[in-house]
């Protein structure tokens, strides 16, 4: 197999030649892995995709948050009321699930992430 051709570094203004796109001085740092990586794949398991999620959407087809405000909006997402943080029992607990529309789920997720970041900054 032939070697790749030498090309200039992708960093603007850098003329160093490289085979992999970036010179050693400008190679991007790998992003920090998310805290939830260890259990994020649980959402691909059949117990979630074929069992818990569709059952929750059938049981509660409308967004719980919108209903509190007097609106009737079809739910598209299933959320854990209490964050399970890798606790399998909390993950599969049907009493810990709520149906939300996408915008309410995104809003709740953003608020939770904001609180985590704020708590880290206060340390």
What pLDDT, in 10s, does the model give residues 54-84?
999 999 999 999 999 999 999 999 999 998 9
What is the model's pTM? 0.69
In a domain, 69, yes or no: yes
In a domain, 113, yes or no: yes
Task: Look at the chain and report how many structural domains it folds into.
Answer: 1
Give how far Cα 122 sits from Cα of 51, 117, 119, Å: 40, 9, 5
Render pLDDT for 2-51 as a digit per residue (tens, 0 to 9).
677 888 999 999 989 998 888 989 888 876 666 667 788 999 999 999 99
In a domain, 28, yes or no: no
In a domain, 96, yes or no: yes
In a domain, 33, yes or no: no
CB count within 10 Å of CB 45 equals 13
């Amino acid at each position: 197999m032939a070697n790749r051709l030498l090309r200039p570094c992708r960093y603007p203004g850098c003329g160093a030649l490289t085979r992999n796109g970036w010179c050693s001085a400008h190679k991007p740092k790998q992003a920090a892995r998310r805290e939830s990586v260890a259990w994020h794949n649980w959402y691909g398991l059949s117990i979630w995709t074929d069992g818990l999620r569709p059952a929750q959407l059938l049981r509660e087809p409308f967004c719980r948050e919108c209903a509190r405000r007097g609106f009737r909006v079809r739910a598209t997402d299933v959320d854990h009321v209490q964050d399970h943080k890798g606790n399998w029992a909390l993950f599969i607990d049907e009493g810990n699930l709520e149906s939300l529309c996408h915008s309410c789920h995104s809003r709740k997720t953003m608020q939770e992430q904001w609180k985590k970041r704020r708590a880290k900054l206060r340390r």
